[in-house]
Amino acid sequence: MGNTLTIKSVSKFRGKIQILQDVDLVIAPGERLALLGHNGAGKSTLIKTILGLTPVHQGSIQICGATPGSAEARRTTAFLPESVSFHPALTGREQLALFARLSGAGGDVAGLLDRVGLSDALDRRIGTYSKGMRQRLGLAQVLLGRPKLALLDEPTSGLDPISRQDLYAIIDELAAQGTAILIASHALTEVEARTDRIAILRKGVKVADNTLAALSRAADLPTHLRITAQSDQIEQLAAQIGGRRINGAALEISCSADQKMDELRRIAAMGDAIVDISMTPPRLEDLYRHFSKEDSR
Ligand SMILES: Nc1ncnc2c1ncn2[C@@H]1O[C@H](COP(=O)(O)OP(=O)(O)OP(=O)(O)O)[C@@H](O)[C@H]1O
């Protein structure tokens, strides 16, 4: 099956300033892609070009073969902005029913509101909703059209931890139904666990695009091993193993992914002197820092 979203060599300028430079990106049906980047890296601009709200100056974008902004692309694409705004005088039910009518999508409005946890508030005016409730209503709107592509800009900003989990559960359902999902985010820990692939923009240039495991291999960042010793043996172990003393009875050493098993064998061979070993592989935060820095390419 072809990709839902295909972005080829897209460049975009604002006046003389280049905002996006030769960006290639694809998302397959059912795939969840995290789009990361510092403030001003070009994430929102890329989303706006996919939506057809701002023109592409070079290159091309296709959504299931359709051009951004065309009737077909609009029918297949859903967008959740960072701060959703609705008519404050309408109730959640009225607002969603209005969207359903406008889009011609129809659908079970009350069922969708229940799905996003708004069943208690469906007949309350949106003006009385909290930010998290408005975000949930926005998500119901995304679900309404059964989109092939969902673009979510900072979907969890301002949400409490449970609401975040609920939101990702709904995103997972969407993906399981075949929707291609792009999540622009600064919440690295969340997207680390809940997406399939990571793309990083730096000053409008895509500097990374792969699975977490592949990015880890490419960056070759160290894994940290923390070794806890019997308290009366720490001095002797420190002399043998080296590394950094953490507190009275622990040492920390760093090694590359290739060296990790050799190090573990070396430490395990020290027998009863070792009480515990814990291992911390590079996290998305480390990879993000690595790929976002100026000399990463
Ligand atoms: N309407 C506009 N006119 C001029 N420049 C703009 C406009 N919108 C965005 N820019 C510029 O384009 C660049 C990319 O901005 P964009 O909003 O796409 O970044 P972002 O990665 O979404 O940032 P953030 O994480 O802060 O939301 C920035 O330098 C920004 O100043």
Q: Spell 25-63 as b/e; 16+ CB within 10 A means b.
A: bbbebbbbbbbbbeeebbbbbbbbbbbbebebeebebbb
Q: 107 alpha carbon to ligand 1 midpoint, in Å?
A: 35
CA-to-CA distance for 94 and 109, rounded, in angstroms?
A: 9
Contacts for 163 with CB less than 8 Å, ≥ 6 apart? 117, 132, 135, 136, 156
Q: pLDDT digit string (tens) for 246-293?
A: 877 789 999 988 888 998 998 888 888 899 999 988 899 999 999 988
CB of residue 85 inside a 6 A radius of ligand 1: no
With 0.90 as the threshold, say if the pTM is over it.
no
Contact 209, 200 (CB under 8 A): yes
Ligand 1 atom 8 nearest Cα: 45
CB of residue 41 inside a 6 A radius of ligand 1: yes
Ligand 1 atom 24 nearest Cα: 39
ipTM of the complex: 0.95
Contact 279, 225 (CB under 8 A): yes
pLDDT (tens, 9 = 90+) of the chain, 297 residues, equals: 689 999 999 999 999 899 999 999 999 999 999 999 999 999 999 999 999 999 999 999 999 999 999 999 998 999 999 888 888 999 999 999 988 888 776 778 889 899 898 989 989 999 999 888 898 999 999 988 889 999 999 998 878 888 889 899 999 999 999 999 999 999 998 899 899 999 999 999 999 999 988 998 888 888 899 999 888 888 888 888 888 888 777 899 999 888 889 989 988 888 888 999 999 888 999 999 999 886 655
pLDDT at 295: 63
CB of residue 44 inside a 6 A radius of ligand 1: yes
Q: pLDDT digit string (tens) for 68-102?
A: 999 999 989 999 998 888 889 999 999 999 888 88
CB of residue 20 inside a 6 A radius of ligand 1: no
Ligand 1 atom nearest 37 alpha carbon = 21
CB of residue 221 inside a 6 A radius of ligand 1: no
Q: 272 alpha carbon to ligand 1 midpoint, in Å?
A: 57
